[in-house]
Amino acid sequence: MALHLLHVDMDAFFAAIEVRDNPALRGLPVIVGAPPDRRGVVSTCSYEARVFGVHSAMPSRTAYKLCPQGVFLPGRHSHYSAVSRQVMEVLESFTPYVEPVSVDEAFLDVAGVLHAWPDAAALARALKARIRERLGLTASVGVATNLFLAKLASDLHKPDGLTVAPEDDASIRAWLAPLPVGRLWGIGQKSEAILAAAGIKTIGDLQGLGEARLVALLGIGMAQHVWPLANGRDERRLSPEPRDERTISHEHTFDEDCRDLERVRGVLLEQAERVAVRLREAGRLARTARIKVRFGDFSTITRQAPFPAPTDTDRELRQAARLLWEREGIRRPVRLIGFGVSDLVTPGEAAPRQPMLFPEFDRSAAPPTRERDRRIDRVVDRLRADFGRDVIRRGE
């Protein structure tokens, strides 16, 4: 298999944009995220700040303790989205096969355009140069034969790195061998601890372990996922058409971990309504709902569920939020709560629906109240647009 997949990861994206836009910040530890005197986390920080041990997802208060001289910025997220769009445009100028993974990273399949370049590395160099010229930002790029290796490679020499993974199986295995097992997708702290207890620290240790022993340690599901990765195999393909991965979400971090779970639930339901409003403003329908809950110890769960049919109504979003919340049966104080929707579709291009012959099997029908809910939502949206959000509230 030839080297044809690229993973492009923008370096310290939000912080880099702030520095670019305000050269006075150059060389300073820039920290984008919540202010240091409030609850909330760092979303990105510059490499200068990382020297102090600051990293993303760290509470801003901790970051302040580590780096009191840091320049804390609240973040201009709509601006970052616009820059992200420009980055994707640059990537698309190389190949139409671009799959954005998040605002600051994407996979590219360049198999179809390689003939115009000496090799994939040359293309990757040109791509990095074009991002720097057009946008004044740097990216780290990994070049490999599959998605997993490409992503791993882009992370090896940050910032402004270019890493080409080996091509043949034996060299790939040898290349992976010295890396810690935590580099494998799906190996979290828990699996890492289990492996460490068995003396398995590097991917090489894991390769030597054999699949059967791995199954015994991690269970069949995890082992079947991790084993091919440890040997550098990854069958996943880049979706040829750009997937619609846009999401709409709201999150809230409580000032103190919230013990009043009724209050948390109330915030969640209100978030569902806010998301519904934005969904309607965007003229889109969502296929999937999800909630995110973070506890005092920073452990975080996300749970998602598909809607029976794509929707944008307050009722269905609230219902999904309530269902996901109740299904978890949370009893612990909550630090952060969030609600979001994903897999957005535009009504006109909604796929034709295959109804069931047997009505008892039909899970995909819209609820009978859909049309009425739509009318109510339209009226409420108009009222709020004219008189403010608090002019009307939903009775429980």
Partner 1 sequence: MVKISVTREALSAGLQMVNGVVGARPTIPVLSNVLLEAEADHLSLTATDLEIFVRCRVDAKSAKAGVTTLPARRLLSIVRELSAENVEMDTDDKHMTEIASGAAFFKVMGMAVDDFPAPADFSSGAVFTLEAGALKQMLQRVHYAASADETRYILNGCLLSFRGNKLTVVATDGRRLALAEQEQEIPQESETDIVLPSKTVNELLRTLRDEGPVKITLTKNQAAFEFDNVLVISKLIEGTYPNFRQVIPSHCEERVAVEREMLLTAVRRVALMTSEKSSSVRLSFGKNKLKVSASSPDAGEANESLPVKYTGKEMAVAFNPEFIMEPLRTLVDDEIFFELVDELSPGVIKCSTPFLYVLMPMRIS
Rank residues 118 and 352 by Cβ distance to partner 1 and give the closer one: 352
Cβ closer to partner 1: 231 or 364?
Answer: 364
- 281 in active site: no
Q: Vertex 321, ends 319 and 323: CA angle to 5°?
A: 65
* Helix (H) / strand (E) containing 98: strand 98-102
Q: How far apart are CA 396 and CA 390, in angstroms?
A: 16
Cβ atoms within 10 Å of 183's Cβ, excluding its own: 17
Report, in Å, the least distance between residue 311 CB and partner 1.
Answer: 12
CA atoms within 13 A on the CB side of 253: 15
Q: How far is the CB of 286 from partner 1 (least distance, A)?
A: 15
Q: Which residue, 331 or 363, has its beta carbon nearer to partner 1?
A: 363
Tokens matching residue 270: 């209100």
The amino acid at 337 = I
Cα separation, 306 vs 326, in Å, equals 16
CB of 283 to partner 1, least distance (A): 16
Distance CA 221, CA 232 (A): 18
Least distance to partner 1 from the beta carbon of 359, Å? 9
In whole angstroms, the minimum distance from the beta carbon of 353 to partner 1 comes to 5
How distant is the alpha carbon of residue 180 from its chain centre? Answer: 23
By the criterion CB under 8 A, which residues form the site for partner 1? 241, 349-358, 360-361
Q: Give the strand pairing for 248-258 and 71-73.
A: unpaired
Are the CB atoms for 152 and 158 separated by under 8 Å?
no
- Going by C-alpha positions, the residue among 78, 143, 82, 60 that lies closest to residue 108 is 143
Give me the amino acid identity at 41.
Answer: V
Nearer to partner 1, 193 or 361 (CB): 361
Measured CA distances, 158 to 11, 142, 145, 233, 362 (Å): 7, 10, 20, 24, 50
Q: Please identify which of the residues 105, 270, 273, 316 carries the catalytic annotation.
A: 105
Pick between residue 186 and residue 355 the one whose CB is nearest to partner 1: 355
307, 319 Cβ separation under 8 angstroms: no
Minimum distance from residue 349 beta carbon to partner 1 (Å):
6
13-21 vs 77-92: helix crossing angle, rounded to 10: 100
Q: Is the Cβ of residue 27 or residue 210 nearer to partner 1 in the bound state?
A: 210
Active site residues per annotation: 105
